[in-house]
């Protein structure tokens, strides 16, 4: 026990050191989302309310849930305005704590027949893998939600595991509170709570536990989860007159126009993150050239001409009527901080109007009717593969994609780093699949297989159904993957010793 405790302390110290080094060497404050979170935090401290505006009037917003902006505001209040280094240091501590939680999760998922020594070995392996994981560690350098979301979602998975094991109502209450807190940081984390709740119902129906007892625990999970969301929901109902328990899907205010038709058209062909920035994030901020679109965006030459005509209308939009002035920024569905084009942008007015959006909506309907299986099955599957097997190199100096090979930036050694990151993704995936098999072979541990799958699959299905397959939204999966993978690696070492014996 003393040996394992010492080894764990060393691993956690190294994990914290690595994250602090990344925070110092690779600080990243250039992300639009990060600047928006920071602006909300500054407005909260200045008494301007929960607003993302940089100048008066400070109009309230609901396009971002309050967890992360309030974390920033609390840090600035305690440690000084613009203490960005302190934010990164706290995120480094949070991500180090996640490494410990991953180890505990691996221990909890270990087959019941395993000896204590093997269980501890799996925990140490899980902690070491989490400490060395480059995909999660890099987010301590940013002003983004990921580090806190990873911590809270992993804590939720651990709490749900303990609750399923001992059946105590109090643990389901803790799980609900943690799930609510995670959702107030990243809205789609609510799908984790749904997955755990479904696991509870399925496991309860398959055991001797009474239906009444199972439903009671599910209600406790739901009530505690809803209790965390209640203040934000009530605030939105009072301020905006809408029932909005999380952030809106299109990151638009209740009275703002959202380009749903254009977004639906994007969903008919976008299958990779490389298309998000030039064709969605740039909307209403700059012109979109039809020549930059890939061939997959069109089914025929006539359709290409229709898209070209719509984009030409967008690129040369007429001035707005005075009454519609507030709708000018509503087409930016990226959720980035609203901004006006600077002097370096093209002089023409670009604007997605309801009329242009309706044209794209009609195109989307036609494309879907011609190839429904592609829209509802093939494209989501391709987006899921893209999300999972991305290089996950975002926010590193060498970030990018491996293919096409001729576009690799040799100055930043992408040919080496991106290949290494891709290999790590595959190794973690293979080890996790083997870990699932280890759990499945042990009858009592099969519930952890169900929990793992229901934590990952619903959220992955939701992400792959969207038009913006951004890989950073999948980093919350890696602690779960590592916990499962550690079980297979612990078993490999045991089997190798037996062969040597």
Task: Convert the pLDDT of each residue in 228-287 to its tens digit.
Answer: 999 999 999 999 999 999 999 998 999 999 999 999 999 999 999 999 999 999 999 999
Asked whether residue 365 is domain-assigned, the answer is yes
Residue 330 lies in a domain: yes
- pLDDT tens digits for range 363-372: 999 999 999 9
Residue 337 lies inside a defined structural domain of this protein: yes
51 forms beta bridges with 60
CB contact at 8 A, 108 and 159: no
pLDDT for position 29: 81
Average pLDDT over residues 28-40: 91
Map 317-360 to HEC letters: CCCCCHHHHHHCCCCCCCCCCCCCCCCCCCCCCCCCCHHHHHHH
Specify the pLDDT at position 348: 61
Task: Express each pLDDT in 425-473 by its tens digit.
Answer: 999 999 999 999 999 999 989 999 999 999 999 999 999 999 999 999 9
Helix axes 67-79, 146-166, angle to 10 degrees: 110
Give the tens place of pLDDT for each residue, 329-352.
Answer: 444 444 444 444 444 444 568 999
Residue 286 lies in a domain: yes
Q: Please tell me the pTM assigned to this model.
A: 0.91
pLDDT value at position 320? 67
Beta carbons within 8 Å of 133's beta carbon, 6+ residues apart = 428, 478, 482
Q: How far apart are CA 246 and CA 112, in angstroms?
A: 38
pLDDT at 184 over 80: yes
Name the nearest CA neighbour of 435 among 489, 478, 495, 494. 489
Residue 282 lies in a domain: yes
- Quote the domain boundaries for residue 324: 261-383
Mean of pLDDT values over 393-422: 93
**What is the model's pLDDT at position 34?**
94
CA–CA separation, 189 vs 346, rounded Å? 39
pLDDT in tens, 470-495: 999 999 999 999 999 999 999 875 55
Judge whether residue 309 has pLDDT over 60.
Answer: yes
The number of distinct structural domains making up the chain is 1
CA distance 309 to 304: 9
Q: What one-character DSSP code corresponds to residue 406?
A: G
Question: Which sign, positive or negative, has the C-alpha torsion 330, 336, 338, 342?
Answer: negative
Q: What is the mean pLDDT of the chain?
A: 92
Answer whether residue 499 shows pLDDT above 90.
Answer: no
The per-residue DSSP string of 26-39 comes to S-----HHHHHHHH
Is 379 among the domain residues?
A: yes
What is the pLDDT, as a whole number, of residue 208? Answer: 65
Backbone dihedral region for residue 49 (phi beyond 0: left; psi -120 to 50: alpha; all else: beta) = left
Q: What is the pLDDT of residues 188-197, one digit of tens each?
A: 999 999 999 9
Per the CB < 8 A criterion, the answer to whether 245 and 233 are in contact is: yes
pLDDT, tens only, 446-455: 999 999 999 9
Tokens of 84: 């960005």
Q: Percent of the chain scored above 70 by pLDDT?
A: 92
* C-alpha distance from residue 49 to each of 97, 145, 241, 283, 369 (Å): 32, 20, 17, 28, 46
**Which residues 6+ apart lie within 8 Å of 430 measured at CB?**
none
pLDDT for residue 202 is more than 50 = yes
pLDDT tier for residue 400 given thresholds of 50, 70 and 90: very high
Other beta carbons within 10 Å of 226: 14
In a domain, 494, yes or no: no
310 falls within a domain:
yes
Check residue 141 and give its pLDDT.
Answer: 97
- Any idea what DSSP says for residue 280? I
């Amino acid at each position: 026990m003393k040996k394992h405790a010492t080894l764990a302390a060393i691993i956690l110290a190294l994990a914290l050191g690595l994250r602090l080094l990344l925070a110092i060497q690779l600080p990243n404050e250039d992300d639009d989302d990060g600047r928006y979170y920071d602006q909300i935090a500054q407005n909260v401290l200045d008494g301007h309310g929960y607003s993302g505006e940089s100048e008066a009037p400070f109009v309230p917003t609901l396009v971002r849930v309050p967890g992360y902006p309030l974390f920033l505001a609390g840090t600035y209040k305690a440690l000084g305005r613009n203490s960005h280094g302190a934010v990164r240091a706290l995120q480094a501590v949070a991500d180090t704590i996640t490494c410990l939680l991953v180890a505990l999760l691996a221990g909890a998922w270990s087959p019941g027949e395993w000896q204590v020594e093997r269980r501890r070995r799996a925990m140490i392996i899980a902690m070491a893998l989490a400490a060395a994981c480059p995909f999660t560690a890099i987010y301590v350098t940013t002003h983004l939600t990921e580090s806190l979301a990873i911590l809270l979602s992993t804590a939720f998975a651990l709490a749900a595991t303990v609750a399923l094991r001992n059946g105590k109502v109090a643990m389901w209450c803790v799980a609900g509170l943690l799930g609510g807190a995670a959702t107030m940081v990243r809205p789609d984390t609510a799908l984790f709570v749904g997955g755990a709740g479904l696991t509870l119902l399925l496991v309860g129906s398959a055991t001797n536990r009474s239906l009444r007892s199972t439903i009671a625990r599910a209600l406790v999970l739901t009530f505690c989860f809803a209790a965390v969301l209640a203040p934000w929901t009530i605030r939105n109902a009072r301020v905006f007159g809408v029932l909005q328990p999380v952030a809106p899907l299109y990151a638009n205010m209740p009275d703002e126009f959202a380009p749903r038709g254009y977004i639906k058209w994007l969903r008919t062909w976008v299958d990779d993150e490389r298309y998000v920035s030039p064709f969605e994030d740039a909307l209403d901020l700059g012109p979109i050239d039809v020549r930059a679109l890939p061939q997959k965006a069109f089914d025929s030459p006539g359709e290409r001409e229709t898209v070209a005509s719509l984009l030409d209308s967008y690129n040369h939009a007429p001035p707005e009527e005075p009454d519609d002035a507030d709708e000018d920024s509503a087409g930016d569905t990226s959720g980035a901080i609203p901004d006006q084009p600077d002097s370096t942008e093209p002089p023409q007015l670009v604007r997605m109007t309801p009329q242009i959006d309706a044209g794209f909506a009609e195109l989307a309907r036609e494309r879907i009717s011609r190839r429904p299986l592609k829209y509802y099955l093939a494209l989501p599957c391709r987006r899921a593969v893209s999300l999972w097997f991305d290089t996950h190199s975002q926010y590193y100096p060498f970030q990018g994609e491996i293919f096409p090979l001729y576009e690799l930036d040799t100055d930043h050694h992408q040919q080496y780093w991106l290949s290494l990151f891709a290999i790590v993704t595959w190794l973690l995936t293979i080890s996790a699949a083997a870990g699932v098999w280890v759990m499945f072979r042990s009858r009592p541990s099969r519930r952890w297989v169900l929990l793992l799958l229901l934590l990952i699959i619903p959220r992955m299905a939701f992400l792959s159904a969207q038009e913006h397959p951004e890989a950073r939204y999948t980093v919350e999966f890696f602690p779960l993957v590592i916990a499962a993978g550690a079980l297979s690696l612990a078993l490999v070492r045991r089997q190798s010793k037996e062969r040597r014996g």
